[in-house]
Amino acid sequence: MATVDWRTGQIIERANGRKYCYNTGSKDKRFLKTVLEAHKIILDCLRPSRLSSISPEEIKSLALTYAQTDKSSRKELIYRLSEDNFEKKEEVPVEIMIEEWLRQKKAVGISDKMLYSLIFIKNVISDFFRENGIKFVADLQKDTAYKFLEWRKSKTYNPLKKSITSASTVRHELQILKQMASVAYDCDWLKKDNIWSKVNIKNLAGVNVKIVAPLLLEEQKALLETLKLRNIVMHDAVLFLLLTGIRVGELDYLNIDSLQSNALHLNGNSVGNMKTTGKTASACRIIPVCETLRKLFERGNIFKARACNVKCNLRRDSFQKIHKGIHPHRLRHSFAVNKLLAQTPLQMVSYQLGHSDIGTTANLYGKFVPEHFKAGFEEAIKERKEWTDYLENNYFR
């Protein structure tokens, strides 16, 4: 609530987390009362978006103008400030808000992979708006985000998956929805940018949490034995993924020149056909070469294995009957857990995986490590050390 300092002629108020304080230049009580009244009227008339950006000097100017003019001039001033009497703007379609959000994302610089991902999410949100009859930015309400959560839970864009959408996916898309609201607010199309700030997604065990579990030692051995008999190209590709922990998309960019002396050079051209740069800057990395990796390069089968072929072969029904739930990313997780259990330093594992933050490695894979210690610390460490040594140095002997 605004107050007057009668000694100095100041108007003082704290509102919306900001302090409004200005000197009227007069100590006349009657005049100060009029200015105080004007101050209150002006703040009540301003729109929230205008109120958050207005300076004390502007409020002072408006209040003094109000106090020093006649009734008709005051009415005209209030008419201009009143939200209800602002010049009506054309309703802004949500498609314009979405395109403006994407334009701003492109302006700050994003990789082709990120652009591909953002376009997919843009299409998801466009589908939500269309199916729920949301045509204009003004239609966005506090409950819109909750409607999105209900809609997205059962909506799948992968015909191979019938399960509920994971919490991490919905959380990411909700964040994009919040970004779009912020863009609309900045463009003065929406009154508030934080209308969904209190909306959160919870992880519910066994319901919306997607867990990519690493393969047990027995599963890794069985997988390699099966492929050795059925498909030698797939065998070498899977062995390569287990040895290096690279993303399956990086297979498409391997060539004979990737192996230089005692190091495997990955240039970051990694994930998918839309990719021209790494998932992160850390995707460009150098991996130490062991005897098995050197032998795989000599055999040359890994240059015949494309990422899409590896995915398709592992997903075939005939293969899934033998090795249920196997897919390429589980091999990456298996590499990480093999290394961590074999007591390879976390920093080195993080680097080989191409993570930009060591915390990502610890959070993603560290949670699987304690599970393998149930049978005993020493035994688990010994098994993984022997297995990683066998894979790296004695597999083809």
Sequence ranges of the domains in the chain:
3-85, 94-186, 217-394
Sheet with 259-260, edge to edge strand ranges: 259-260, 263-267, 284-288
- Non-local (6+) Cβ contacts of 96 within 8 A are 137
Cα distances from 210 to residues 91, 203, 321, 337, in angstroms, run: 40, 9, 21, 18
User: Which of helix, strand or coil describes residue 54?
Assistant: coil
Cα distances from 251 to residues 38, 184, 271, 278, in angstroms, run: 70, 41, 9, 13
Cα distances from 378 to residues 337, 338, 370, 387, in angstroms, run: 15, 14, 12, 14
Rounded to whole angstroms, the Cα distance separating 37 from 67 reads 9
Which tens digits make up the pLDDT trace of 313-326? 998 888 888 998 88
Sheet with 3-5, edge to edge strand ranges: 3-5, 10-15, 18-23
Residue 179 near residue 101 (C-beta atoms within 8 A): yes
Provide the pLDDT for residue 123: 93
**Regarding beta strands 284-288 and 18-23, do their DSSP bridges make them parallel or antiparallel, or are they unpaired?**
unpaired
Residue 148 near residue 177 (C-beta atoms within 8 A): yes
Span 46-66, mean pLDDT?
Answer: 75
User: Which of helix, strand or coil describes residue 187?
Assistant: coil
Global confidence as pTM: 0.56
Which tens digits make up the pLDDT trace of 277-309? 445 566 788 888 999 999 999 999 999 998 889
Residue 62 near residue 81 (C-beta atoms within 8 A): yes
Residue 205 has a CB neighbour count (10 Å cut-off) of 7
Query: So what's the architecture of 217-394 in CATH?
Result: Orthogonal Bundle (1.10)
Provide the pLDDT for residue 221: 94
How many residues are listed for the chain in this entry?
397
Strand ranges in 182-294 using DSSP code E only, listed in sequence order: 259-260, 263-267, 284-288
- Give the lowest-confidence range in 261-270, 308-317, 337-346: 261-270
Rounded to whole angstroms, the Cα distance separating 71 from 17 reads 32
Residue 339 near residue 327 (C-beta atoms within 8 A): no
Rounded to whole angstroms, the Cα distance separating 312 from 314 reads 6
The conformation of residue 6, written as its DSSP 8-state character, comes to T
**What percentage of the chain carries pLDDT values higher than 90?**
28
Q: Is residue 239 predicted with pLDDT exceeding 90?
A: yes
- The DSSP bridge partners found for residue 263 are 260, 288
Rounded to whole angstroms, the Cα distance separating 283 from 269 reads 8
Rounded to whole angstroms, the Cα distance separating 9 from 22 reads 9
Span 217-228, mean pLDDT?
Answer: 93
